[in-house]
Amino acid sequence: MERFKLSLEGREKISYFVILVLLLVLTAGLVKLQIIEHAELAKKSKDNRIRKKPIIPRWGVVRDREERIIIDNRSSYTFSVIPAEEIKGKTLPNLSKLLNLDTLQIRKRIKKNMVSRYQPTPVKRHIPFEHVAIFEEQKNKFPGVTYLIEQVRQYDSTLGAETFTGYVGEISEEELKKLKKIDPKTYHLGSIIGKKGLEKQYNFLLRGHEGDAYIEVSASGQILGEYKEEKPIPAKAGANLTLTIDNDLQKACTQVLDTFCCGAIVAIDPRNGELLAMTSYPGYNPNIFSTVIPESLWQEIRSDTTHPLLNRPLNGLYPPGSTVKFVAIGAGLEEGLITANSSFKPCLGGMQFGNRFFRCWQTRGHGTLNAIHALEQSCDVYLYQLGLKLGVNKLSEYYDLCGFGKPTNIDLPAEALGKNPNSEYYNKQYGVNKWTKTQVLNNVIGQGELLVTPLQLAQFFCGLANNGIVFQPHIVKKKIHPNGDKRTVLPKISFRLPFSLKTMRILKEGLRLVVEGEHGTAKSLKNEMYSIGGKTGSAENPHGDSHSWFVGVAPLDNPEIVVCAIVENAGHGSEVAAPLVGKIIKVYMEKKFARENITMISTRKTE
Amino acid sequence: MLNYSSLDWKLIGAAFLLSMIGVLLILSAQYSADTVFKQQYYLRQLIWLSIALVIFIIVIHLPIRLFDLSAYLIYAASLILLVMVLFFGTSRMGALRWFSFGPINFTPSEFAKVALIITLSRFFAYTKLPVASKRRLALSTLLSIIPLGLILKQPDLGTSFVFIVILFVLWFWSGLSPLYMFLIISPLISLVTAYQSVVWIIYIVVVLIFLFLLRPGLLFGIVTVVANLASGIITPFFWGRLADYQRHRILTFLDPGLDPRGAGYQIIQSKVAIGSGGILGKGFLNGSQTSLDFLPEPHTDFIFSVLGEEFGFWGALIVLLLFCFIFYRGTRIAVRCRSKFSSLLVMGGIAVIMFQFLVNIGMALGFMPVTGLPLPFVSYGGTSLILFWTIIGLIIAADYRWQEY
């Protein structure tokens, strides 16, 4: 094995040789840079500065189901200061005059947004074009100032669509921390991201990817052009979205609520879960978030007692009132406690239970009713007696199976769960055995601690309208990627109502009688052209008059639309919410007839 | 008591000169930084230098036998620290490399470098196994691969290379023929050349010729050939089957700082800075910070760019020559030492200094990817400074007692 050994002298020589070679390589490198390429590199360092400039991608455009625009982009100018190139006593005073901003304020913003002293730091967004023109003319007055053309989101403010569009805004520090973990390169201070609604949910799709351009800038701040040695990375445009929303219907929803204080409307196609319209009233103009919001306006919005920022359909928690009586009746039928024709003790305007008298809304009393007519006339006493038979937990179980107290999984962020109390909940809330059976009397008529969102209620009625099959509510119909790749979102069955077809038939008859029955609570909606079904509700609440509910289904033989409306503190469902829903259904049906070339008067007569 | 006049003052002087140049360059690199904290990096470096010099003085007073006897203890301590940093370390930029004690950061991987040098020196100095015996190679590889694996886990690819270099250089210095070492690492080269089939075939032929000339034994020959063929054929096959993002994930796992565009950008800026310095440089504190500000850490990884810009070709050459001088003095000592342990110890230390020097400057000149290895003595960093002064201390001590066995 001696031939694998090397003598000490051998090793020493090899070591010197290796180091000598490597040293020569390094020296050659130094000579190349500092002597041969010196003139060129010196010029680069002296006169030219290489600047990395983000290429802002075009955000995706959002359209309604008929390809009418909901969210678009427009150009806007942003002024930036390069701190290293700023000349004290010249740049900022001149800039503050031009932008009408305090010098101190500008300084503050530079400090807040600065990434590096040599990179443009945004100072003010949304500069009117006249100011850009002045800047261009007198460029030498503003050393170290540049401007950038940015895309700004433009929302169609006539739609009242902010309920689902949400808005975009500058990234906050916490958001930056979170997003940096997912994607370390795309986000930086000053990035615009989706903050609410669709803009947040589909931020990754709509936003696209920022690119990088390398430009050379002379010492005086003049842009010399692209830096050739580094290839620019092009920006990737965001994907366009086509929504399931119908702008006509959306506008109608916003208009009908106009005369009231507050309310919400949700319209869904029960055949596939497509959201046709969704509005929360009062709303706000999402365009104000695209520009810098004046502090006073922000304060005004925040302190408004009608809560314009509350997304009522998704986050508003209301007692559902009589609208959920279908659940209890359905449960009674399924559990064999009643049949379609069973009746209980007659309603005499209320019922004594324990030491409390539970009223029926109809103080005159309904007399003896069967299950279907109890729905038609919304008799509370019938439901009280059924509720006692079901018990708290059975009823809660059915509410759960009908989608209450849990998310609908709509493709919008921050959906409220609602509340579906059972004995476990009451034990926790009041202590074991410290609550009474009276809770079930409240829950069975949609009062007490049962709370739902308008979206959950609409979803439940979609199930009633669609033979028990509930499709997951969704708002995006198509995703169109910039490379032309189109993805249509397919309807997805979310769950089935826990009712047999026989039960469903009875419940549907109840839906019909509410509008078409002799004693129906929403008789006013009955019309010649098309059949409507539905249910009224008046939810008592501690804030004043009852919330007025109505959920309508049309056309009842083959339902295409479910409209759920709530008007806060407006009174009985039959008086306020029902006519609103009637109007919206009318808009929908008129459009349908026009599309199918049928005049409205002729339809039913020829039948 | 030490006879101070017989210490190798020239070697100490060279290291001290480099350290002082480092302080000046750090001062210049952060001269117009936006915070006072950054502007005072040079002061902190001065404090670190004093601490490093104290440790240096302690080391030269200790008998060299002490390191010899406690080699495996030191090794065990370094492993414990490396494991601890994975659990209790401070995470920065996705890597767990530091212990933080208030403003002071301690990097256990620097300590592990010295520990491995001492341990391997001890192992090679006393083993009775023949130079090219498989057990000797395997045991020494095992000793190196444990700290290396722990450092890869942090992860820190650049530093883990240092451990491979220590192993290879000590193999070499303990007498293993470079040709034989070439055969051992040949499967790795096979992996690299495999991207182009012509190059790879030529390479395999070269390996076969070497094998024929060396005739290392049948088993060794077969293993070498099989390993070469396997890594050349199978690995590219699997690599090719991975999706782009999977490859990227593997690469970024190995090196979290991997960002080809970002690194490329830094290197362009470094080249502009060095090139614009020309022959004479722009002068101290006169470096146009404009180009250097594009470098995220001019006081650590890219300190050589500051040197090139402000002191030009001559300044850079002086630093290059100072490192060569350290190498020359060190090698001379390693040759002269009678104790095998001391000789290996000195060579291991020199290897770390020279490897980091070559990689760091190679990176600043744009020859090599950005690895984040600091320039010995010059770059900002307390643990690094202490490490290199400890190495110098060990070399001086070995030299002083060169006659001891």
Is A107 within 8 Å of A92 (Cβ atoms)?
Answer: yes
CA distance A208 to chain B (A): 19
State the distance between the two ends of chain A, measured CA to CA, in whole angstroms: 108
Distance CA B327, CA B354 (A): 7
What average pLDDT does the segment A102-114 reach? Answer: 81
Longest CA pairwise span in chain B (Å): 66
Percent of chain A residues topping a pLDDT of 70: 93
Asked, as a colleague might, if the bond just before A282 is cis with ω within 30 of 0, I would say yes
Which residues in chain A are contacts of B259 at CB distance < 8 A? 185
Give strand pairing partners of A432.
Answer: none
* Weakest mean pLDDT among A80-94, A434-448, B49-63, B303-317: A80-94
Sequence-distant (6+) residues with CB within 8 A of A513 are: A372, A373, A375, A376, A520
Which residues in chain A are contacts of B245 at CB distance < 8 A? none
Inter-chain touch B362–A26, beta carbons under 8 Å: yes
Sign of CA dihedral B196, B197, B198, B201: positive
Predicted local distance difference test score (pLDDT) of residue B248: 60
Inter-chain touch A19–B354, beta carbons under 8 Å: yes
What average pLDDT does the segment B195-218 reach? Answer: 80
Inter-chain touch A230–B265, beta carbons under 8 Å: yes
Sign of CA dihedral A572, A573, A577, A583: negative
Nearest to A34 among B279, B335, B358 (CB): B279
Best probe of the A interface among B271, B272, B288, by most A CBs < 10 A, is B272
* B338: nearest CA partner in chain A: A8
Kindly tell me if the per-residue pLDDT of B261 is higher than 60: no
Which residues in chain A are contacts of B367 at CB distance < 8 A? 25, 29
Q: Which two tokens stand for residue A240?
A: 């366009």
Q: Which two tokens stand for residue A496?
A: 């089935």
Q: Are strands A211-218 and A192-194 parallel, antiparallel or unpaired?
A: unpaired
Angle B84-B373-B105 from CA coordinates, rounded to 5°: 40
Number of residues in chain A? 607
Burial class (CB within 10 angstroms; exposed 0-12, middle 13-18, buried 19+) of A317: middle
Kindly tell me if the per-residue pLDDT of B370 is higher than 60: yes
Which residues in chain B are contacts of A5 at CB distance < 8 A? 131-132, 175-177
Distance CA A599, CA A590 (A): 9
Residues of chain A that touch chain B, judged by Cβ-Cβ distance less than 8 Å: 1, 3-6, 8, 11-12, 14-16, 19, 22-23, 25-27, 29-31, 33-35, 37-38, 40-42, 44-46, 49-50, 52, 84, 116-118, 185, 212, 229-230, 233
Predicted local distance difference test score (pLDDT) of residue B204: 85
Which residues in chain A are contacts of B269 at CB distance < 8 A? 50
Predicted local distance difference test score (pLDDT) of residue B353: 96
Greater pLDDT, A280 or B106: A280
CA distance B77 to chain A (A): 31
Assign A462 to helix, strand or coil.
helix
Is A562 within 8 Å of A353 (Cβ atoms)?
Answer: no
Kindly tell me if the per-residue pLDDT of A605 is higher than 50: no
Greater pLDDT, A544 or A317: A317
Residues A458-483: tens digit of each pLDDT: 999 999 999 999 999 999 999 999 88
Inter-chain touch B132–A1, beta carbons under 8 Å: yes
Distance CA B198, CA B193 (A): 9
Predicted local distance difference test score (pLDDT) of residue A217: 65
Which residues in chain A are contacts of B132 at CB distance < 8 A? 1, 4-5
Nearest to A11 among B172, B362, B366 (CB): B172
Predicted local distance difference test score (pLDDT) of residue A219: 47
Burial B261-295 (b: 16+ CB within 10 A, else e): eebebbbbbbbbbbbbbbeebbeeeebbbbbbbbb
Is B400 within 8 Å of B319 (Cβ atoms)?
Answer: no
Which residues in chain B are contacts of A44 at CB distance < 8 A? 272, 275-276, 291
Greater pLDDT, B250 or B65: B65
What average pLDDT does the segment A501-512 reach? Answer: 92
* Weakest mean pLDDT among A216-230, A259-273, B244-258, B318-332: B244-258
Which residues in chain B are contacts of A212 at CB distance < 8 A? 261
Distance CA B317, CA A384 (A): 96
Ramachandran area for residue A579 (φ above 0: left; ψ -120 to 50: alpha; else beta): alpha
Is B63 within 8 Å of B394 (Cβ atoms)?
Answer: no
Predicted local distance difference test score (pLDDT) of residue A551: 95
Side-chain half-sphere CA neighbours of A599 within 13 A: 4
Output the 3-class SS for A356-384.
Answer: EEEECCCCCCCECCEHHHHHHHCCHHHHH
Inter-chain touch B261–A42, beta carbons under 8 Å: no
Angle A420-A424-A429 from CA coordinates, rounded to 5°: 85
Predicted local distance difference test score (pLDDT) of residue A607: 37
pLDDT tier, B256 (very low <50, low <70, confident <90, very high otherwise):
very low
What average pLDDT does the segment A552-574 reach? Answer: 91
Greater pLDDT, B125 or A214: B125
Backbone angles phi, psi at A170, to 5 degrees: -70, 140
* Weakest mean pLDDT among A248-257, B180-189, B282-291: B282-291
Inter-chain touch B316–A19, beta carbons under 8 Å: no
Greater pLDDT, A120 or A28: A28
**Interface contacts A/B by beta carbons within 8 Å:** 129
Side-chain half-sphere CA neighbours of A41 within 13 A: 27
Nearest to B132 among A4, A44, A230 (CB): A4
Mean pLDDT of chain A: 86
Q: Which two tokens stand for residue B353?
A: 């200094």
CA distance B160 to chain A (A): 21
pLDDT tier, A606 (very low <50, low <70, confident <90, very high otherwise):
very low
Mean pLDDT of chain B: 84
CA distance A127 to chain B (A): 29
Kindly tell me if the per-residue pLDDT of B206 is higher than 90: no
Nearest to A6 among B175, B294, B324 (CB): B175
Percent of chain B residues topping a pLDDT of 90: 41
Asked, as a colleague might, if the bond just before A555 is cis with ω within 30 of 0, I would say yes
Is B347 within 8 Å of B169 (Cβ atoms)?
Answer: yes
CA distance B136 to chain A (A): 13
CA distance B196 to chain A (A): 25
Nearest to A23 among B34, B273, B324 (CB): B324
Kindly tell me if the per-residue pLDDT of B59 is higher than 90: yes
Kindly tell me if the per-residue pLDDT of A560 is higher than 60: yes
Which residues in chain B are contacts of A28 at CB distance < 8 A? none
Burial class (CB within 10 angstroms; exposed 0-12, middle 13-18, buried 19+) of A217: buried
Inter-chain touch B276–A42, beta carbons under 8 Å: yes
What average pLDDT does the segment A156-174 reach? Answer: 87
* B169: nearest CA partner in chain A: A15
Nearest to A33 among B275, B294, B327 (CB): B275
Residues B210-231: tens digit of each pLDDT: 888 777 777 778 888 888 888 8
Is A458 within 8 Å of A551 (Cβ atoms)?
Answer: yes
Residues A330-377: tens digit of each pLDDT: 999 999 999 888 888 888 888 888 888 888 888 888 888 898 899 889
Inter-chain touch B317–A27, beta carbons under 8 Å: yes
pLDDT tier, A604 (very low <50, low <70, confident <90, very high otherwise):
very low
What average pLDDT does the segment B85-90 reach? Answer: 83
Distance CA B36, CA B59 (A): 35
Q: Which of the given ranges, A48-52, A147-151, B397-401, has the highest pLDDT on average?
A: B397-401
pLDDT tier, B350 (very low <50, low <70, confident <90, very high otherwise):
very high
Assign B213 to helix, strand or coil.
helix
* A19: nearest CA partner in chain B: B324
One-letter amino acid identity for B16? F
CA distance A195 to chain B (A): 27
CA distance A59 to chain B (A): 25
What average pLDDT does the segment A220-236 reach? Answer: 70
Kindly tell me if the per-residue pLDDT of B378 is higher than 90: yes
* Weakest mean pLDDT among A114-123, A512-521, B142-151, B381-390: A114-123
CA distance A35 to chain B (A): 6
Tell me which residue has tokens 């983000």.
A54
Tell me which residue has tokens 């433009």.
A154
Inter-chain touch B335–A52, beta carbons under 8 Å: no
Kindly tell me if the per-residue pLDDT of B259 is higher than 60: no
Assign A216 to helix, strand or coil.
strand
Predicted local distance difference test score (pLDDT) of residue A229: 65
Greater pLDDT, B288 or B287: B287
Greater pLDDT, A218 or A596: A596
Nearest to B176 among A4, A26, A30 (CB): A4
Predicted local distance difference test score (pLDDT) of residue B260: 45
Q: Are strands A192-194 and A69-81 parallel, antiparallel or unpaired?
A: unpaired
Which residues in chain B are contacts of A52 at CB distance < 8 A? 265
* A39: nearest CA partner in chain B: B276
Kindly tell me if the per-residue pLDDT of B361 is higher than 90: yes
Give strand pairing partners of A367.
Answer: A347
What crossing angle do the helices spanning A38-46 and B260-277 adopt, rounded to 10°?
Answer: 110
Output the 3-class SS for A411-446.
Answer: CCCCCCCCECCCHHHHHHHHCCCCCCCHHHHHHHCC
CA distance A124 to chain B (A): 23
What average pLDDT does the segment A402-431 reach? Answer: 91
Q: Which two tokens stand for residue B27?
A: 């001062």
* Weakest mean pLDDT among A91-95, B69-73, B141-145: A91-95
Which residues in chain A are contacts of B339 at CB distance < 8 A? none
Residues A58-77: tens digit of each pLDDT: 889 999 999 999 999 888 88
Inter-chain touch B277–A34, beta carbons under 8 Å: yes
Distance CA A188, CA A190 (A): 6
